[in-house]
Amino acid sequence: MQKIDDGRRLTRQVMVGDVAVGGGAPVSVQSMCTTDTSDSDATLSQIKRLAEEGCEIIRVAVPDPSALDGFERICAASPLPVVADIHFDYKLAIAAAERGAAALRVNPGNIGSMDRVDAVIEAASVAGIPIRIGVNAGSLDPEVAQKPGLTLVERLVASCVSFVEHFEERGFQNIVLSAKAHSVPVTIQTYRMLSKQLPDYPLHVGVTEAGTLQQGTVKNCAAVGVLLNEGIGDTMRLSLTADPVEEVRVAWELLGALGLRRRNPELVSCPTCGRTQVDLIGMAQEVERRLKSIQAPISVAVMGCVVNGPGEARDADIGIACGRGKGVIFVQGEPLRTVREEQLVDELFSEIQKRFG
C-alpha cells in the first residue's frame, strides 16, 4: 500500500466541487444540514455558520421531489460544495445531479434494482460528479445480506466490494466509500479491511448514530482517531445528535490532536491538584471561550502551579503559570512578566493579540 509523507495511504483523488478528497489531499471536514432543504434561506444560513467554523463539504437531505427547488437554490448560493443525500428514490439522485449537486451520496442497497443504480451512475457521469457509496447495516447488498455465517464487518466490506465492482464494470471510478456502524470496534475493523481490499478508493470515515455531544464525541474520536492515526481516512463526518457546528469543532480538535491539521488554537491546561492556589478551572474555561474567536494554529497553556508551569508546557507558544493570587506569562517556556490573578487572562490575550494577531 503506497503511503504519503504523513503516513496516510495514497488513494485516487476525487473532487467534490473544489475540495480534493484523497490523493494526498488533507483530510477534509464534512457535516450535514439539519434544516428543511425546501427552506433554502434557513439551510444557507446554517451552511454559512458551518463554513465559518471550518466545514469544507456540506451534505443536505433530498427526501422527496418537493425539496428539489430548494436544493437547486442552495447549490447555486452555497459557499461550500453541496452533496445530495439520497435514499430509496433513484429519480431524486438523477434530478439532484442535474440541479447542481457537487456529489451524490447513495446507498445502492436501498435504491432498488441495479438498473436504477445504473441510471444514477449515468447521471453522475454526465454531470461529472463523484458518488459516495454509503453502506451500513440497513443497506447491504441483498445477495451479501442473505449469506449465512458472515459477521457484520464482513457483510459491510463485501457489500462495498460488490458495489464497487458493479460501478467499475460500467466504467465509473469517481467514487468515495463509506461503511459505517454505531459500534466503535466494528467501525475500526470495517475500515481496516476496506483499506486493504479496496486500497485505491478514498474513504469517508465516521461513526454513525454515535449519540449526543459527549458520548458521540468520545465514540467518534475513539474510532476515527485510531483510523486516522493508522493512515486510514481521506474525509470525515463526526455525526452527533447536536448542532452540526459541534461536529465541525470536534473534527478540527481531533485533526489537531493527531497533528494532521490545525485550524484553531490548542489549549494546554493541567488538571489541577492540591498545589493550585487560583481558580484554574474558571480561568481555563475563560481562556477556552476567548480562544474561539482566534484562528491561529498556536498552543496556549494554562498551568496551575510551578510544577506544571513553563517547564512542562515549554513547547507551548504562550501561556500562564499560576502561584498564590498571581501568575507568570511565558512565551515558549521563557517567563515574560508576573501579573495579578485577576488580570492574568486579559494580559495573556493582550500578548496573544500582539504576537499572533
Give dist(CA 184, CA 292) in Å, integer.
Answer: 29
Residue-wise pLDDT for 142-158, tens only, equals: 777 778 888 999 999 99
Cα Rg, the chain, nearest whole Å: 23
DSSP 3-state assignment of 293?
coil
1 with 199: CB under 8 angstroms?
A: yes
Q: Please state, in angstroms and as integers, the Cα–Cα distance from residue 51 to each residue in 37, 38, 188, 267, following that order.
A: 17, 20, 28, 22
The confidence score (pLDDT) of residue 333 equals: 80
Cell triple for 258: 493527531
Residue 156 is predicted with a pLDDT of: 93
For residue range 115-125, what is the model confidence (pLDDT) as tens digits? 999 999 999 99
Return the DSSP state at 66. Answer: G
Say which residue, 195 or 278, is predicted with more confidence: 195
**How buried is residue 290: exposed, middle or buried, by Cβ count under 10 Å (0-12/13-18/19+)?**
middle
pLDDT band (50, 70, 90) for residue 138:
confident
Count how many residues are written for the chain: 357
Query: Mind listing the domains of the chain with CATH numbers?
Result: 14-257 (3.20.20.20), 266-356 (3.30.413.10)
The angle formed by the CA atoms of residues 79, 84 and 89, to the nearest 5 degrees, is: 160
Task: Return the pLDDT at 40.
Answer: 96
What is the per-residue pLDDT across 240-275, written as a single tens digit (0 to 9) for each? 999 999 999 999 999 999 999 988 889 988 888 777
**Ordered DSSP codes for 298-337:** -EEEEESSSTTSTTTTTTSSEEEEE-SSEEEEEETTEEEE
> pLDDT per residue over 322-337, tens digit each?
888 888 888 888 888 8
* Cα–Cα distance, 352 to 194 (Å, whole number): 44
User: Which residue type occupies 146?
Assistant: Q
Asked whether residue 6 carries a pLDDT value surpassing 90, the answer given is no
Sign of the torsion angle spanned by Cα atoms 325, 268, 262, 218: negative
The pLDDT of 9-29, averaged and rounded, is 95
H-helix segments, 128-243: 142-145, 152-169, 184-197, 213-229
pLDDT tens-digit map of 44-87: 999 999 999 999 999 999 999 999 999 999 999 999 999 999 98
The string of pLDDT tens digits covering residues 344-355 is 999 999 999 888
Question: Phi and psi (nearest 5°) for 215?
Answer: -65, -45
Average pLDDT over the chain, rounded to whole? Answer: 91
Q: d(Cα 78, Cα 58) in Å, to the nearest integer? A: 9
pLDDT tens, residue by residue, 167-220: 999 999 999 999 989 999 999 999 999 999 999 999 999 999 989 999 999 999
pLDDT top residue among 18 and 323 = 18
